Chain A
């Protein structure tokens, strides 16, 4: 089975590169028929408004939501987190399966975008925050999984992980090791 990578728009080839580094086969997802042979899913960074517009063609997100609710391990980075969130301030919710409120571009515009030292998997690494969404709040069923200073920048609920930042632009060994285990086991993902 392959990992599906949503490929409507955005940095999906950077996630493909991560998958190649851990020898995991992948399937680019552009329409509903691409979902057949996947056992895990990655929603990349990019523009969430653009992705929402393109998917409408065949209601791709409806089918993706069913797969996620069946328990498929799913990782969303940046715009991917926005797609997963139940509630988006100043924006639209779409797949809506992760119990969190996020705000688009809440760290500022591009000039305020930054590389920050993130505590993720008990490891500290510099990751990119690019016009990043902020995790404003989350339900009790959600566990924090990544922090910058005291602020939560990554969360985990059931088999769903949402990150404000872009580990795929760094591809450090600890992230890749985590990704490998997460895509395989989902639930056993380690929390802080």
Chain B
């Protein structure tokens, strides 16, 4: 007897990615560099976040050809982004045989009120969140993995830190709460009661939580790991840097050895230029991608 695509199986793949680095790639060539550098998965997208930010316009799911090319070029899991609420892009990614769908605020949202109902799609979903309420809503819709949003394409880790700390505080509040106040908390954070109850009982988020958005150096990756995330997504940080391969390898080693400063020093030597960073305060409110998501 075999049953495919149960929630346990969806969550299970995220469990296998723990302690790893998931790298943004825009073509097969970058995907191969990422795999050789030790990436645990690659994320196929049309343009990397720093370019989306610079060029503007509507950012959509990658072309079918690009996704197919990336799938054919590597043996590690391949993820791809769909627009928030764009369930048809998700259905297409499912049909393409993608291993994980990222319903991502980095792309231009397709629905200003609703996210995708993810239980109906065989492929597992990862969703961004800035706090525990948002994480619980996405889990309620069927997300099998959460990532903090950070602020993609900035090379500035401050928002990722803010969201990770907010998430940890939110989880601790639910865990230590009196059982009688769980409904009140659920109401306050606009979260499904069942997910809040699950966190209270199991004393942890029911799915894996990675960090994303602004990680550009091995030290950034180690910082997020020490703050308690399960692994990291690196977008623009790798292929917008001076030496992508060296930097990718260094971030992989740093993520495993996040609590070993000697090792972090060793891998951070001779890395070349990091990506140019952006100051979050210089961004207009409308330019903040983390605000997308409801």
Contacts and interface: CB of A to CB of B under 8 A. Distances in A.
B4 A114 contact: yes
B40 A46 contact: yes
A181 interface: no
A115 B3 contact: yes
Contacts of B8: 115, 128, 169
Interface in A107-121: 109-117
B159 interface: no
A140 interface: no
B252 A53 contact: yes
B105 interface: no
Contacts of B2: 114-117, 148
B6 A115 contact: yes
Nearest to B38: A53
A112 B97 CA distance: 9
A10 B76 contact: no
A133 to B, nearest CB: 11
Nearest to B123: A111
Interface in B111-145: 122-124
A50 B252 contact: yes
Interface residues of A, number: 39
Nearest to B124: A110
Contact of B97 (A10, A12, A104, A109): A109
Contacts of A128: 8-9, 12
Contacts of B36: 53
Interface in A63-122: 78-79, 90-91, 104-105, 109-117
A171 interface: no
B76 A49 contact: yes
Contact of B253 (A54, A104, A105, A126): A54
A116 B9 CA distance: 11
Contacts of A117: 1-2
B237 interface: no
Interface residues of B, number: 41
Nearest to B4: A114
Given A113-B5, A130-B16, A131-B77, A54 B252 contact: yes
Contacts of A131: 13, 16, 77, 99
Contacts of B9: 113-115, 128, 130
Given A50-B40, A54-B253, A10 B16 contact: yes
Nearest to B260: A30
Interface string B242-269: 0000000100110111001000000000
A57 B76 contact: no
B251 to A, nearest CB: 12
A110 B75 contact: no
Nearest to A79: B16
A50 B38 contact: yes
Given A110-B77, A114-B9, A49 B35 contact: yes
Contact of A116 (B1, B16, B17, B94): B1
Contacts of A104: 75
Nearest to B15: A11
B5 A111 contact: yes
A91 B38 CA distance: 14
B12 A105 contact: no
Q: 10 smallest A-B Cβ distances: which pairs?
A: A53-B38, A110-B99, A9-B19, A117-B1, A114-B2, A116-B2, A11-B15, A114-B4, A47-B40, A130-B12
14 contacts: A7-B256, A9-B256, A10-B19, A12-B18, A46-B40, A50-B38, A50-B76, A54-B253, A79-B16, A109-B99, A110-B98, A110-B100, A115-B3, A131-B77
